Structure 1
Amino acid sequence: MVKSANTKNGTNKQTLQEKIVGRTTNIVHLTHNDLDAAGSDAVCRMEFGSEILTLFSSVGRFGWFLAQVAGCNGKGDTLIISDLGYQNGIEDQIRKAHAAGWIIQWYDHHKWTEAEQKRILPFVQTLIVDTTKCATGVVASVFAKDNPDAREVARVVCDYDLWKHQDPRSAKLGIVTSKQENLRLIRDKLVQGIIIDEEVSRIFEKIEHDKNKCMKKSIRAAKIFRGKYTIAVMPAYGYPSETSAEARRQLKTDIELLVFDNGKFSLRSVPEISHLIAKQFGGGGHPNASGGSFNYTWKEKWMLKLFKKVSGTKPFIAAAENL
């Protein structure tokens, strides 16, 4: 039996497994925690209703979230996974979820190898990987082909997630959803077919000021390495996509590495090698945008925080140069 967690004031807080066990829906949606995830969830809710139980997960916690679901009786209900790519060994949790009675459908747009797909296919009802779309576009192509609102949501989200930047609304949504507390707000508006309204615009303007300060702070601390590629290495203070784009514009770089003080990093590249580099550091993602971790010790964390010293630079550059 799953026990409730005790809070400081003596009341009980429902655990994740309790939420899953007590679900009032036959759809659980496990997705990433960015704009593309919010768009994917919006499209799912357009199709299946608002009772869906949604689990927003970072890439690093994907395995943990999946284990929580796998530890609960699926009862023939559907587990939809979107905007989360294959990770080494994730088939073990997929197998357990399948054995627990979950019907698994996986919709993704990250790079998969044929071998990775073969490891997953025996345990899922559906596996669709389409790197030409964002995850919202993949989900919409399956569930909402005839829904014009869903198609418009997918178009705008893909504009941001695939770095097209042809629709100015997508950049605003991307900035707003960079703050986790806004994910559900934006998701709910997209469900209604609302892309930008006054509320979203106000949130954007407030975040924009902070974003510009963080970008300048990162770029001022950037170290440039020139070899096969011109690489900028810098501490990250948030907004990795926007900081990378601005650093590339100012510094004429091919690859931008932004490292947070916990050792996790975001990587952007002109050559389609980001995902290959990130895999060497326990991560993954897209050919031009990915993430991983240097697994910092406490000393390395403080060196970055206090002195802006990015540990892990040498092996990272070697990984890029040797591809």
Structure 2
Amino acid sequence: MEMSYYAIVHNDFDGTASASVYARAVGSLPKSIWFTEPTRVHELLSKLELRGVNTVILADLGLNESTFSSVLKAVRRLKAEGATIKWFDHHVWKEEWKRQLQEAGVEVHHDVTTCGAGVINKVMNPEDEISRKLASADCSVDIWLHNDPLGEKLRRVVENNRDFQWKKKLIETFYQGTLWNDEFQRILEEQVDRELRGYKELEKYAKVVEVNGIRVVIAIRWKGPPDISYASQYLMTRNRADVFVSANGKSISFRSNNVDIRRFAVSLGGGGHPLAAGAALRIPFFLRMLRRFGIRGPALNWVTNVVIDVIQREGVVRYENKSMH
């Protein structure tokens, strides 16, 4: 049942997997695809021109309080122009957002117990074994279940290259039913080699603080692998810490295995999952400049003060990570 549609997905493994699962469900690749962030969805939707394509799907893209009214305005315009809009997501939403989008005519599929690809797999093609395997691998790393070894491998392959053409190629590969091949194996081996070298450098970028009875590792972003998820596990384990925080100059990311860190991200204007979340956070310009010259201490201290403040303000709530199926 071939159809013509546009896809707008998150710029990560889950977004790529979501687009692939949807394509398999409808029997065709999207006419055009955009990879974006939740904070930019409203901009993309407001500029989108249908050009004869009437179906628009969005996947693995949460909503933010600050941009919701712009999103709503954009989807109302697209609906008025004849669009069918389907939104698949697993991030935490306000019921009010869901209600208003549905009233505007958007088909909303929202399920916080799985990842973005998992939502689409459940709704669109639960019998497709390739989609089920891809969604399982994706959920394993995206919502921190760590219960499918293929997830750790595919994540490295997908995120080893952020280029549009690479993601497009991956979606075509998954769509055709291939989840692993020789090229993926070579990329995996190269990536793991780079990660092993990178682990030796991590301690230079981090410090440990105790606040409200928990140990927190705070880091200024480094260049190259390991990525934030693997680095966070390594640094938390090595320092017996409960929470990992990383800032790159423009945003801040939180990770944990047992603390609800989404509350900290929300307090800073962001969002995410209970164990993996983030927010925009602009480090002052002069501190960013110092960091460029290799002087990381002042920026790290500034971020540390922000983190201590938000944890003291919000308090620590433990989170029990249950395997979600």
1:111 to 69, 72, 92: 92
Give, in angstroms, the shift of residue 253 of structure 1: 1.1
1:321 to 292, 295, 312: 312
Write the deviation string for residues 265-316 of structure 1: whole angstroms up to 9, x where unpaired.
2210234532221123332111110121222332121233322232332122
> 2:192 — aligned with what?
208
> 2:215 — aligned with what?
230
Give, in angstroms, the shift of residue 74 of structure 1: 6.9
**Relative to structure 1, is the Cα distance of residues 135 and 93 closer, same or farther in structure 2, using a 3 angstrom cutoff?**
same
In the alignment, structure 1 residue 96 sits paired with structure 2 residue 74 = yes
**Is 1:263–1:301's contact at 8 Å kept on the other side of the alignment?**
no
Query: 2:284, 2:305 → 1: CA distance?
Result: 16
**Is 2:13–2:158's contact at 8 Å kept on the other side of the alignment?**
yes
> 1:35 — aligned with what?
13
Superposed CA RMSD: 2.2
**Is 2:41–2:71's contact at 8 Å kept on the other side of the alignment?**
no
| Partner SS, residue 169 of structure 1 | helix
Q: Counterpart of 2:275 in structure 1: which amino acid?
A: N
**Is 2:20–2:175's contact at 8 Å kept on the other side of the alignment?**
yes
Give, in angstroms, the shift of residue 223 of structure 1: 0.9
Tell me whether 226-235 or 162-171 shows the greater mean CA deviation. Answer: 162-171
Q: Counterpart of 2:45 in structure 1: which amino acid?
A: L
Give, in angstroms, the shift of residue 73 of structure 1: 4.3
Q: Counterpart of 2:11 in structure 1: which amino acid?
A: N
| Partner SS, residue 80 of structure 1 | strand
Give, in angstroms, the shift of residue 51 of structure 1: 4.0
**Is 1:76–1:103's contact at 8 Å kept on the other side of the alignment?**
no
**Is 2:211–2:311's contact at 8 Å kept on the other side of the alignment?**
no
1:154 to 135, 152, 157: 135
**Is 2:205–2:221's contact at 8 Å kept on the other side of the alignment?**
no
Query: 1:65, 1:283 → 2: CA distance?
Result: 19
Query: 1:141, 1:190 → 2: CA distance?
Result: 17
**Is 1:80–1:104's contact at 8 Å kept on the other side of the alignment?**
yes
In the alignment, structure 1 residue 64 sits paired with structure 2 residue 43 = yes
| Partner SS, residue 307 of structure 1 | coil
Query: 2:202, 2:69 → 1: CA distance?
Result: 37
**Is 2:137–2:149's contact at 8 Å kept on the other side of the alignment?**
no
TM-score for the superposition, normalised by structure 2? 0.84
Q: Counterpart of 1:219 in structure 2: which amino acid?
A: E
Query: 2:155, 2:289 → 1: CA distance?
Result: 30
> 1:16 — aligned with what?
none
Write the deviation string for residues 121-165 of structure 1: whole angstroms up to 9, x where unpaired.
322431122111010000111111221211121112112212222
Q: Note the residue ranges of structure 1 that are not aligned, 5 or more in a row.
A: 1-23
Q: Note the residue ranges of structure 2 that are not aligned, 5 or more in a row.
A: 315-325
1:276 to 251, 263, 266: 263
Q: Counterpart of 1:281 in structure 2: which amino acid?
A: L
| Partner SS, residue 133 of structure 1 | coil
In the alignment, structure 1 residue 77 sits paired with structure 2 residue 76 = no
**Relative to structure 1, is the Cα distance of residues 113 and 74 closer, same or farther in structure 2, using a 3 angstrom cutoff?**
farther
Q: Counterpart of 1:233 in structure 2: which amino acid?
A: I
TM-score for the superposition, normalised by structure 1? 0.84
**Is 2:125–2:131's contact at 8 Å kept on the other side of the alignment?**
yes
**Relative to structure 1, is the Cα distance of residues 208 and 185 closer, same or farther in structure 2, using a 3 angstrom cutoff?**
farther
> 1:18 — aligned with what?
none
Query: 2:4, 2:176 → 1: CA distance?
Result: 22
Q: When the two structures are aligned, how many residues end up with a matched partner?
A: 297
**Is 2:144–2:275's contact at 8 Å kept on the other side of the alignment?**
no
Query: 1:250, 1:307 → 2: CA distance?
Result: 24
**Is 1:169–1:196's contact at 8 Å kept on the other side of the alignment?**
no
> 2:176 — aligned with what?
192
Q: Counterpart of 2:34 in structure 1: which amino acid?
A: L
> 1:303 — aligned with what?
290
Tell me whether 48-57 or 268-277 shows the greater mean CA deviation. Answer: 268-277
Q: Counterpart of 1:175 in structure 2: which amino acid?
A: R
**Relative to structure 1, is the Cα distance of residues 242 and 203 closer, same or farther in structure 2, using a 3 angstrom cutoff?**
same
**Is 2:42–2:70's contact at 8 Å kept on the other side of the alignment?**
no
Query: 2:52, 2:77 → 1: CA distance?
Result: 10
Write the deviation string for residues 193-231 of structure 1: whole angstroms up to 9, x where unpaired.
222211001112222222333343233331111022211
> 2:107 — aligned with what?
126
Q: Counterpart of 1:230 in structure 2: which amino acid?
A: R
**Is 1:29–1:41's contact at 8 Å kept on the other side of the alignment?**
yes
Query: 2:192, 2:252 → 1: CA distance?
Result: 22
| Partner SS, residue 61 of structure 1 | helix
Tell me whether 27-36 or 56-65 shows the greater mean CA deviation. Answer: 56-65
